[in-house]
Amino acid sequence: GNSVTQMEGPVTLSEEAFLTINCTYTATGYPSLFWYVQYPGEGLQLLLKATKADDKGSNKGFEATYRKETTSFHLEKGSVQVSDSAVYFCALSPPGNQFYFGTGTSLTVIP
């Protein structure tokens, strides 16, 4: 079946620290992989995506690489800011449209 497992939070970092949020998946076929971000009281926004193995998605200083051999899509950022405080969701979508989301990881960045 299809599922996503992501690192449990909450995660608290100081400003300018390095961020890694782990995400692993199980999937049938060849899914696309996504990271979405949710700010307090809002809907989800697409942060980045990768559609095939070895692709790297990147946006706003965040990066994630589609690793088929380890079935992973870890989110990284070299230097976090207070404005990055949010909940981050890893998701996969096999061909056919349905999405499967992880449980979310809450990130708080303190000045």
Partner 1 sequence: DGGITQSPKYLFRKEGQNVTLSCEQNLNHDAMYWYRQDPGQGLRLIYYSQIVNDFQKGDIAEGYSVSREKKESFPLTVTSAQKNPTAFYLCASSIVGGNEQFFGPGTRLTVL
User: Cis link prior to 94 (omega < 30° from 0)?
Assistant: no
Site residue total, partner 1 (CB under 8 A): 21
CB of 3 to partner 1, least distance (A): 11
Which amino acid, one-letter code, is at 106?
A: S
DSSP structure string for 16-68: T--EEE-EEEE-SS--EEEEEEE-TTS-EEEEEEE-STT-EEEETTEEEE-BT
The two tokens of residue 14 are: 């100081």
Interaction between residue 98 and partner 1 (CB under 8 A): yes
Interaction between residue 99 and partner 1 (CB under 8 A): yes
Residues 41-70 that bind partner 1 (CB under 8 A): 41-46, 49, 51
CB of 71 to partner 1, least distance (A): 18
Interface contacts to partner 1, rule CB under 8 A: 32, 34, 36, 41-46, 49, 51, 89, 93, 95, 97-99, 101-104
